[in-house]
Structure 1
Amino acid sequence: MKPALLLISHACAALENRKKVQALAAHFDLVCVTSTIEQRTILGRPSSDFDNDSDESSRHYQLIRLPRRGHSDTTFRYAGLSAVMRSRRFDVVLVENEPWAFICWQSLFWKALLQGDALFGEFTWENVERPSWKGLILAAIYRFMTMTTDFIIAGNQAAAQLVQKRGARKEAVHVAPQFGVDLINHQPASPAERKQLREAQLLHTDAFIIGYCGRLTEEKGIKELLQACDELQNVHLAILGSGRLEGWLKQQQKTRPWLHLLAPRPHFEIPSFLRCLDVFVLASKPVRTMELCWEEQFGHVLIEAMACGVATLGSSSGAIPEVIGHDEAIFPHGEAKALAECIRRVMNDTNLAKSQLERARQLYTHDAVAASWAGFIQQRLAA
């Protein structure tokens, strides 16, 4: 008989992310609580492009949608969560959010009141310590979290070290991604497919194309990526996304005919962009200010590019090196010349892309991530 798992995750409102939940259902009698479908615009597209119930007939788990009270991802609570906890007995209650998120506190309260025998776990990405008074407050929150949580799944090694520093036992902490990648729509393109994909996106069919996909912000290393391409010859750079640097990039495009800006698109359309690239680059760099204290927590697009058979390079920031797993694909963050040299090294090297493809297939599929989570949780149940 499968253990009963209640998974509380606003991220699983996204259709693509629920593929991990489907994989988890092979190991658990699973109920997933997520948000009601919202009617709004995301990246210029209707929210139904990102969240809909087209997977309803194929689910091997129960999906319960609850309305959110509160707007941000860390200040909301779910109306009706107590009724879900009253409805049946669970062996495990697992919340995907940061330790200071209100939903974690709400879930812990109802779990303690209504599911006393269940294990309580949290998934966290947070991998940096905050400065000044914010750090002191969060340190206390982490202490309380580790005292009241039976296990923690950390999205990267630094997150695991952070919770252990605040009192979590090493055996109660597991490092694993939150989501995997779907190998059905993420796979290498044949030369003919690549040509068609490039034509459809108005990209040069015979050029060497370097790509980036994500937020267009300073901390993502966009400026260093352009500087690196300035040093290279006969390359094109394709950037897909939106953000604060969008206006600046349009200005740069006027003097760089090799720079191509593509509009943002839903997750399920990202593979068509990745599969037409020769190299993908994530050049993130850390930020340490009172307003923003951040370092790359995983970089999910890395495993998507790897699964598409594209040589994938990343900076030394945060979790990027542990995700990529190849030293030759890593360059010091913030150093454009080092990035240019890294690109030169892989321009005629097909071995890196092949090795990274195999790594993605072994470690980063939804099934592999679910199996990793399940093995750890079941081990905690047996402890």
Structure 2
Amino acid sequence: MTTPRLLAISLSCHEPVNRALFREIGALGIPVQLVVPRRHFVGGQWRDTPDFPPENYELTLLDLTGTNQRTHRLQGLQAVVDAFQPTHIYCDSDPASMMVRQAKQVAPNARLWSLTAENMPQSLGIDLRKAAETRNPAGIASALVKAWLRRSARRKVDRVLTLSKDGTALIEAMGLTATQVPIGFDPRLFQPLPEAERAAVRAELGLTRPVIAYFGRQTPEKGIHVLIDALDRIRDRPWQFLIDDFIGASGYTAQLQAQIERLGISDRVTFFESRHEDMARYMNAADIVVLPSLSTPKWKEQYGRVIQEVMACGRTMVGSRSGAIPEVMGGQGHLFDEGDVAGLAKLLGGLLDKGQYADEAARSYALANLSVNRQAEIMAGHLRAET
């Protein structure tokens, strides 16, 4: 048996906080060469990759072409493959992407792994109907390209890493091998703060009451408006609402701000901005964190990284029953029905009345099942089995 050699192509590792997985795979004795775009198109603009020293892996920055995540390619990838001679290539792009197709072209003899967050049925017919409903000509072309890439993936991809049971079922229905993994959190970052440090963060933000928080994207399907309506129903309790401006101002953000002003609770709301690697400080400052996602005909919660990060910080987690949320929570924290304002208000009111927010059981569960260490163990086991 030879030692596996993993070439990882990762757009998400544009952010150094996402490289912990490869640190842990390298620590298990598997050589890792990580390829990251020198600049990445994020939030409608090109952003330079921050300088960050590699640990237990080698790092190469390459130029990225294209602004669409399905059609990205990397310049100079062939030279990296020739020098490293991988037994496996792991690409954290969806199987139906040009990045995965390029990986197979430059290393036809390496086993190719991919990653998908998809958890709803995928087909050309479904995609064409979506495009027709929105009267989007570009969506029709996109659907055709996606279908072509999906067919190509069936011939080229050896294993697809999935994030949920629904995702696993979708991949297996395509005739591909699926392995479910967590998108692990880094225990070095996400852990409880000493009480003095936690108090300092709360003071920095002006938090003096029990804090209910939302962390993540501000889009309608995330259901933040449901949470705000629930908070309005428990205005008789002492609370403050903490929310991060994850992707900057948007039309939905403006709606949320108008909703807050209309309800007259502006004095209880704190917006803040933070890098992902600093999020643990703010999660520790919270008492209760809510992920109130709403399923739509086209989307349901695919994973919810904030869940595991909050639990790892030992805080109280509340989530709706959308998509993978109950699965990721694993019986920890508290669940409510999607869109149920009254139910969420009752749940939050009860938690505030109880006044106990540390959740060591949730932290233990997250460490055992959802960390990058666990993700690395699963991946390393399959890498060795295939070599």
TM-score by length of structure 2 reads: 0.85
Deviation string for 1:299-357 (max 9, x for gaps)? 11111111111111111111111111126611111111122233234342748822111
Aligned residues: 361
Equivalent pair of 1:309/1:354 in contact (CA under 8 Å): yes
Equivalent pair of 1:147/1:167 in contact (CA under 8 Å): no
- Match of residue 309 from structure 2: 304
Structure 2 Cα separation of the partners of residues 350 and 143 of structure 1: 51
**Cα offset for 1:87?**
2.0
Structure 2 Cα separation of the partners of residues 43 and 311 of structure 1: 34
- Match of residue 278 from structure 1: 287
- Match of residue 367 from structure 1: 373
- Match of residue 53 from structure 2: 55
- Match of residue 170 from structure 2: 162
Equivalent pair of 1:123/1:152 in contact (CA under 8 Å): yes
Is 1:110 aligned with 2:106?
yes
- Match of residue 133 from structure 2: none
Q: Which SS does the other structure have where 1:337 is aligned?
A: helix
Q: 1:228 to 1:258 in 2, by over 3 A?
A: farther
Equivalent pair of 1:346/1:352 in contact (CA under 8 Å): no
**Equivalent position to 2:179, from 174, 184, 189:** 174
Structure 1 Cα separation of the partners of residues 163 and 116 of structure 2: 6
**Cα offset for 1:259?**
3.6
**Cα offset for 1:175?**
0.4
- Match of residue 134 from structure 2: none
Is 1:338 aligned with 2:343?
yes
Counterpart AA for 1:273: Y
**Cα offset for 1:218?**
0.8
Structure 1 Cα separation of the partners of residues 87 and 355 of structure 2: 49
**Cα offset for 1:229?**
0.9
Deviation string for 1:344-374 (max 9, x for gaps)? 3434274882211111111222222211211
**Equivalent position to 2:85, from 86, 89, 93:** 89
Deviation beyond 6 Å, 4+ runs, structure 1 = 40-44
Is 1:79 aligned with 2:72?
no
Q: 1:78 to 1:47 in 2, by over 3 A?
A: closer
**Equivalent position to 2:222, from 217, 220, 232:** 220
Structure 1 Cα separation of the partners of residues 357 and 253 of structure 2: 34
- Match of residue 101 from structure 1: 97
- Match of residue 187 from structure 1: 191
Structure 1 Cα separation of the partners of residues 172 and 379 of structure 2: 19
Structure 2 Cα separation of the partners of residues 152 and 35 of structure 1: 22
Structure 2 Cα separation of the partners of residues 140 and 199 of structure 1: 54
Q: Which SS does the other structure have where 2:326 is aligned?
A: helix
- Bigger CA drift: 60-69 or 243-252? 243-252
Equivalent pair of 1:311/1:346 in contact (CA under 8 Å): no
- Match of residue 134 from structure 1: 127
- Match of residue 212 from structure 2: 210
What is the RMSD computed on CA atoms of the aligned residues?
2.6
- Match of residue 29 from structure 1: 31
Q: Which SS does the other structure have where 1:215 is aligned?
A: coil
**Equivalent position to 1:317, from 319, 322, 326:** 322
- Match of residue 2 from structure 1: 3
Structure 1 Cα separation of the partners of residues 32 and 276 of structure 2: 25
Is 1:252 aligned with 2:259?
yes
Counterpart AA for 1:277: A
Structure 2 Cα separation of the partners of residues 41 and 297 of structure 1: 20
**Cα offset for 1:264?**
2.4
Structure 2 Cα separation of the partners of residues 264 and 144 of structure 1: 40
Q: 1:327 to 1:198 in 2, by over 3 A?
A: closer
**Cα offset for 1:191?**
3.9
Structure 2 Cα separation of the partners of residues 300 and 337 of structure 1: 26
Deviation string for 1:244-270 (max 9, x for gaps)? 322223223331145413232211221
Q: Which runs of 5+ in 1 are unaligned?
A: none
Q: Which SS does the other structure have where 1:230 is aligned?
A: helix
Structure 1 Cα separation of the partners of residues 210 and 50 of structure 2: 37
- Match of residue 356 from structure 1: 362
Q: Which runs of 5+ in 2 are unaligned?
A: 129-142
**Cα offset for 1:145?**
1.9
Counterpart AA for 1:186: F
Q: 1:332 to 1:10 in 2, by over 3 A?
A: same
**Cα offset for 1:287?**
2.4
Q: 1:107 to 1:43 in 2, by over 3 A?
A: closer
TM-score by length of structure 1 reads: 0.86
Equivalent pair of 2:193/2:281 in contact (CA under 8 Å): no
- Bigger CA drift: 275-284 or 143-152? 143-152
- Bigger CA drift: 219-228 or 20-29? 20-29
Structure 2 Cα separation of the partners of residues 41 and 105 of structure 1: 22
Identity %, equivalent residues: 25
**Cα offset for 1:177?**
2.0
Structure 2 Cα separation of the partners of residues 319 and 274 of structure 1: 21
Equivalent pair of 1:70/1:77 in contact (CA under 8 Å): yes
**Cα offset for 1:73?**
1.9
**Cα offset for 1:231?**
1.6
Counterpart AA for 1:60: N
Deviation string for 1:110-156 (max 9, x for gaps)? 222xxx2x211111111112574527855664454233222111122
